[in-house]
Amino acid sequence: MARRRERPAGVDSPTASIEGPVRTCVGCRLRADRAGLLRVVVADGVLVVDPRRRLPGRGASVHPDPACVDLADKRRAFARALRLDGRPDVTPVRQYVEQLQTPDGKQVEKP
């Protein structure tokens, strides 16, 4: 019986070129560098964007793109990732992401 040869971790994978911590966007499910994603936590029952990544508790990562936020809401991914009962209000996250967008739809630098 032939043995299967194991590939070394990270070789020929989409994240092989990413350095540092890697997270998965709860919207599009693509893996990305932690710096390229927004961390979202629950504070007092409300979704809050944590740009400094310092708030306590379980966090969910999402691309700073309205399409990813909409997809995460549609898939109920925030509730699942944050282990919430019910569907949280995503309005604060949408407003934050919209503030990051320029009028032509491109993302501006982080504050």
Cα-Cα end-to-end distance for the chain: 58
**Residues 50 and 39 sit within 8 Å (Cβ to Cβ):** yes
Q: How confident is the model at residue 111 (pLDDT cuts 50, 70, 90)?
A: very low
pLDDT-derived band of residue 98, with 50, 70 and 90 as boundaries?
very high
Average pLDDT over residues 55-74: 96
Q: Are 70 and 82 in contact (CB under 8 A)?
A: no
- Does the pTM of the predicted model rise above 0.85? no
45 confidence band (pLDDT: 50, 70, 90): confident
Are 72 and 26 in contact, with CB atoms under 8 Å apart? yes
pLDDT for the residue numbered 13: 58
